[in-house]
Amino acid sequence: MRSGERLKAILNNLQNMAKITKGFISEHDAMVFEITLFNFWPKGIDKRWFWLGFQALEKAGLTYYETDEEETTVRERLTLLSVFYLEFCYVACFHVSEHFTFLNKEERETILSDLSDNADDELDTIKRALIAYFGNVDSLVNELWINCSEGSTNTLMRIAEISNSYRAIPMREMINDEDMKNARDWLTLWSKDIKDFDGLSLAGF
């Protein structure tokens, strides 16, 4: 190896070490998770929610790492965003839409096999970060509900429609919308093990 090539290799190694040592995961790297794991709805509707979730984690400092192990944890959190979203779709019955696409069996098994022993705790941390980002449980449910409503009808909402939906959602709770109640209860009770999540266990079947 010539000296110039050797120096270039050393500099590349130093850059890679610096990247691993400290930093926030880049949007470019995060895009891999959006592309591979958020394909539940046509038109990329769920991908828009992924970036909201990503911003929530970023604001909470959950996309920052200083070691290889911490970087792996950050990447697991981005995977768990898809688990969270899928389970919401299931408990709120959006999965029955003809437009919904489950993760296939191979994707489901890969996610389950790659989860760490701390995955349940990490998912709880993600849930708390999302609630903090959106303000409260009801606001988080509203955001997810509107996004999934767009997906289930395969129709993007205009700003006026979104505004009307926000006003309508509390009324729907008052008349005992069972699907929304189930979604809210899922978030507030939060007692399941990830491996028991119905959406994840049914994906691909």
Query: What are the tens digits of pLDDT across the range 24-70?
Result: 999 999 999 999 999 999 999 999 999 999 999 999 999 999 999 99
Residue predicted with more confidence, 116 or 20: 116
What is residue 33's predicted lDDT score, i.e. its pLDDT? Answer: 95
Cα separation, 162 vs 66, whole angstroms: 39
DSSP-derived secondary structure letter, 43: G
| In the predicted structure, residue 6 carries a pLDDT above the cut 80 | no
Least confident range of 6-15, 32-41, 115-124: 6-15
What is residue 201's predicted lDDT score, i.e. its pLDDT? Answer: 78
What is residue 77's predicted lDDT score, i.e. its pLDDT? Answer: 97
Q: How high is the mean pLDDT of the chain? A: 84
DSSP-derived secondary structure letter, 158: P
What is residue 163's predicted lDDT score, i.e. its pLDDT? Answer: 64
Are residues 203 and 87 in contact, defined by beta-carbon separation less than 8 angstroms? no
Are residues 62 and 125 in contact, defined by beta-carbon separation less than 8 angstroms? yes
Cα separation, 32 vs 83, whole angstroms: 15
Beta-carbon contacts of residue 90 (< 8 Å; ≥ 6 apart): 197, 198, 199, 202
The torsion angles phi and psi of 190, rounded to 5 degrees, stand at 45, 60
| In the predicted structure, residue 19 carries a pLDDT above the cut 60 | no
Alpha helices (runs of H) in 92-155, residue ranges in sequence order: 105-114, 119-134, 137-153
Average pLDDT over residues 68-81: 95
For the four alpha carbons of 52, 147, 104 and 43, in that order, the dihedral sign comes to: negative
Residue whose structure tokens are 């790297």: 29
